[in-house]
Structure 1
């Protein structure tokens, strides 16, 4: 299945915090990525020609590189690198690449005129030669994009359509007839990469933006975000019913980090590429539950099912949230949920859980243009380790539980319906049967003095990774696609634990032969690919 995005004058893809919830949250404040002087990066890389008779910065081009940078609260640096392609029939020039050739720039003439005063005769004459066609042709025009104080909103780029030039050779000044061009008219074709970290260097400020980004871009690194949710040893009640069950999370948390990169490419307002990739780094999750069961009636049969789900934690990730004014927004919301299902008979106190870790070489790639092309690789090395301790059990228990980490991205294409994309990671999930029993010669072994009662536990562990895509139209969500990326299941050998259970005989034990299915009420059923 694939979905097409209808053409509209401003089709800009946003990988964003969940639409309508996280953007409105006062805690979800994305880092604003300001326009960085792209020439600073290129000059630091020595890509400019130094021939005094040539000024390639002034030549009109079919494309131009625009860079944006910002600093979220964690002190890291985030970089977005856009290659903007000029609309058909136009050429462009970027002021930030040649402003070092000028001594004065004025974007706000009373008659819609922009003035550029050059600092050398050679540069002045080169500009007249490169741009003079607009005077020779009645329909001549080109696009000038300014990243300069006084040209448009602070720390944002402003585009102008230039239709004629007047010259003043005595002052080396050109006067350009300039009409403001909105991004919705010129931003239909671009190639954007985001998520690169920028290293830090202390340099003077430019237009309010700390210019420690200058010449320091490291495009080999990716954005790291830390999804730590919960804390080891933190106790949280999940269910409390004095007559049946009390369930506490005594150690439920997620730790580690993810690397995130993205790529968006549009052509004539049609999206050609839109991908998002995430890779775990030292990622692990623990769920450790303590259950106290106090159902003493009808020991001969299991109770009706008790099940519920709860949000353990939910938070936006401002360290990853970014906004490029007039271009895009990007962000992420993390939530950590738990769901359980149980049937009980008798009384019991036990601790149950698992720790799970994901391999660092795993990668999830979501293709936002055609979700069926989304893929995963490298998760076969995921590890599952059970946690098990029974201190009291007089009859039988069936128990299934999972914790789920949701990485939720909203996709807002201006002028179109919106999409929600969620990666649902059930990590870990387990289903366990506890059955108390009695054997006259010893329950777990037949050694002298062996206890005649005990508990047998049968357990299955699993990891699941799901991709869900939903449309949002007039604030209503509609399921579009749901698919299970990955599943790892591990069935453990039966575990026998000797336990003193006074008064227990084999006639009092109900059958618990089949494991409970792990509850899936947080997951939409899959559709055929």
Structure 2
């Protein structure tokens, strides 16, 4: 079971702190991980289709390279330590490294990484922290040369660093972000094994060994976030290098820093039609058209990674929908009977490239979106009907995906989802069963150092709708509320499920006990009202029983929380739009 405090913690990862304080999730709003069927929570195999895999690989290969941002540039000037403060030369047990990358006209990806010393005897220092004490800094093969502005700064450096000359095993780690120091425009780690001083010129030469992040970054954590660009910057345009410049963040005081990244998932067009199957292609007996299928809105993603002793200990993400809504409306023209199981399809209607992000050598995230529509049909006659639904997920909903500890994954707030069922009957002489679903799939790959990788998928069946059509005869009137003289007619019963699934699988670096999993985080079923259509009367209209209509009410019992998924716990019926 996911506790309220745990979900609150997952949603409160701060940008400039490891974790920020957030309001707790209201008691009773976290849905427990109990399945609708016994096998729902069994370990499974993550089946990413070719679309997902290609999109993930493309996103990771083309991820936006996040650039180093000096933490001083993000600190208000009145809170910033003076540039000539000699304590900037002190070696540290941990250092904070901020990264950013422009991903759109309105948003900058941000990452806050805290790197810890690999052991108690070998501390860290970032050269960008003491830039204000230097006249010049340069790197060459096997050395880093520093020219101090003052004798006081030189003397302080001797006091802070000279211990490294005492034994051959002594060393500390320097992280440089300067021209000719490692990869251009990126931070590069060095192992400092000896220090030489020239008291007359205030010059220090650090004898260094080149190392990789794979050898230094044994312990660190990363939080993901973003900064929203002010409107005047959006008009002007910002490139990646701009955000690393001194003073860029000081000029504009209206930056909106967030603990999450926004991914826009909008695809499709409510005014357009798309053929899924027709008589001129593989299916000879029916035509299936998606009329105005679309997905609008997006999700806000927070992420947290923790590595200890080169092993990934925590890998979590939290997602909150923002104005997320979808519609699937499938028109079907059946020309002859189709046996049960003979026709089903699943198509990816739309693909959307979502910008990935990368800290070279440390972390890569590559997301993608596919908007899938599925449809199945069995019939004993001919028909022309439309079935579908429009659905919206509340902004207050949230989910937590824990890739290493799947039992901690959970969801809350989805009980406020609303649905508007669609059913139109144009012409029928049939007994039929049809189902349709719209499924946004956000798939992503994660790579940490070169030691760990995973691919995941968040699937939201939004929603799964089924309809059963049964033609019949009643000598007293098939739809007596409408007419007792029309003895032939059709009854329709239907319902909808909304389900949220989280899937994950390793591709490297995980211990053998790590299971692939395919877990339902949340789901609920609504029955729709029965509809009755008298046949034999021109422009026959359906009869809806006289019961209340409306949107989905809140679920929950005092002290218990949301009703769990099983066939005895279903939502009150909702009238179809006809």
TM-score (norm. length: structure 2): 0.75
* Stretch deviating more after TM superposition (86-95 or 30-39): 30-39
Shift of 1:447: 5.8
SS at 2:155's partner residue?
helix
Q: Which of 304, 309, 331 in structure 2 is aligned with 1:290?
A: 331
Q: Which of 165, 172, 186 in structure 1 is aligned with 2:202?
A: 172
**How far apart, in 2, do the equivalents of 1:118 and 1:206 lie?**
30
SS at 1:67's partner residue?
strand
* Stretch deviating more after TM superposition (122-131 or 41-50): 41-50
Q: Which residue of 2 aligns with 1:361?
A: 396
Task: Kindly provide the CA deviation profile for residues 212-267 of structure 1, in whole angstroms up to 9, marking residues without a partner as x.
Answer: 76357754442111111211122111122465221110121111110001000111
1:95-494 alignment, distance < 5 Å = 95-108=127-140, 112-200=142-230, 211=245, 214=249, 218-241=256-279, 243-295=284-336, 303-319=339-355, 321-416=356-451, 418-440=453-475, 442-445=477-480, 451-472=486-507, 480-494=516-530
Work out whether residues 458 and 501 of structure 2, in 8 Å CA contact, stay in contact via their aligned partners in 1.
yes
Alpha carbon RMSD of aligned pairs, Å? Answer: 3.0
Work out whether residues 122 and 170 of structure 2, in 8 Å CA contact, stay in contact via their aligned partners in 1.
no
How many residues are aligned here? 474
SS at 1:295's partner residue?
coil
Work out whether residues 225 and 258 of structure 2, in 8 Å CA contact, stay in contact via their aligned partners in 1.
no
Shift of 1:500: 3.4
Q: Which of 55, 65, 70 in structure 2 is aligned with 1:22?
A: 55
Q: Which residue of 1 aligns with 2:21?
A: none
**How far apart, in 1, do the equivalents of 2:174 and 2:158 lie?**
14
1:49-60 alignment, distance < 5 Å = 54-60=85-91
Shift of 1:452: 4.4
Shift of 1:449: 9.0
Q: Which residue of 2 aligns with 1:516?
A: none
1:69 aligns with 2:81: no
**How far apart, in 2, do the equivalents of 1:487 and 1:239 lie?**
29
Work out whether residues 95 and 114 of structure 2, in 8 Å CA contact, stay in contact via their aligned partners in 1.
yes
**How far apart, in 2, do the equivalents of 1:121 and 1:481 lie?**
61
1:30-49 alignment, distance < 5 Å = 30-42=63-75, 44=77, 46-48=79-81
1:84 aligns with 2:125: no
Unaligned ranges ≥5, structure 2:
2-49, 539-578
**How far apart, in 2, do the equivalents of 1:257 and 1:358 lie?**
11
Unaligned ranges ≥5, structure 1:
2-16, 297-301, 503-529
Q: Which residue of 1 aligns with 2:566?
A: none
Could you say which structure has the higher helix fraction?
2
Q: Which residue of 2 aligns with 1:523?
A: none
**How far apart, in 2, do the equivalents of 1:285 and 1:444 lie?**
33
Shift of 1:22: 2.7
1:517-528 alignment, distance < 5 Å = none
**How far apart, in 2, do the equivalents of 1:64 and 1:27 lie?**
27
**How far apart, in 1, do the equivalents of 2:290 and 2:189 lie?**
55
Shift of 1:309: 2.4
**How far apart, in 1, do the equivalents of 2:78 and 2:486 lie?**
76
Cα 1:126–1:43, aligned 2, differ >3 Å: closer, same or farther?
Answer: farther
**How far apart, in 2, do the equivalents of 1:346 and 1:186 lie?**
69
**How far apart, in 2, do the equivalents of 1:438 and 1:63 lie?**
79
**How far apart, in 1, do the equivalents of 2:375 and 2:241 lie?**
54
**How far apart, in 1, do the equivalents of 2:286 and 2:536 lie?**
21
* Stretch deviating more after TM superposition (170-179 or 465-474): 465-474
**How far apart, in 2, do the equivalents of 1:479 and 1:137 lie?**
46
Cα 1:19–1:442, aligned 2, differ >3 Å: closer, same or farther?
Answer: closer
Task: Kindly provide the CA deviation profile for residues 395-430 of structure 1, in whole angstroms up to 9, marking residues without a partner as x.
Answer: 222111212111112233555574321111111111
Work out whether residues 30 and 72 of structure 1, in 8 Å CA contact, stay in contact via their aligned partners in 2.
no
Shift of 1:146: 0.5
SS at 2:421's partner residue?
strand
Work out whether residues 317 and 331 of structure 1, in 8 Å CA contact, stay in contact via their aligned partners in 2.
no
Work out whether residues 58 and 127 of structure 1, in 8 Å CA contact, stay in contact via their aligned partners in 2.
yes
Q: Which residue of 2 aligns with 1:7?
A: none
Task: Kindly provide the CA deviation profile for residues 323-370 of structure 1, in whole angstroms up to 9, marking residues without a partner as x.
Answer: 111111112111121222211122211111011111111111111111
**How far apart, in 2, do the equivalents of 1:448 and 1:70 lie?**
67
**How far apart, in 1, do the equivalents of 2:332 and 2:369 lie?**
27
Work out whether residues 272 and 292 of structure 2, in 8 Å CA contact, stay in contact via their aligned partners in 1.
yes
SS at 2:339's partner residue?
coil
Task: Kindly provide the CA deviation profile for residues 362-395 of structure 1, in whole angstroms up to 9, marking residues without a partner as x.
Answer: 1111111111211111111111211011010112
**How far apart, in 2, do the equivalents of 1:205 and 1:473 lie?**
34
Work out whether residues 395 and 436 of structure 1, in 8 Å CA contact, stay in contact via their aligned partners in 2.
yes
Q: Which residue of 1 aligns with 2:546?
A: none
Task: Kindly provide the CA deviation profile for residues 264-284 of structure 1, in whole angstroms up to 9, marking residues without a partner as x.
Answer: 011111222211111101111
**How far apart, in 1, do the equivalents of 2:325 and 2:498 lie?**
12
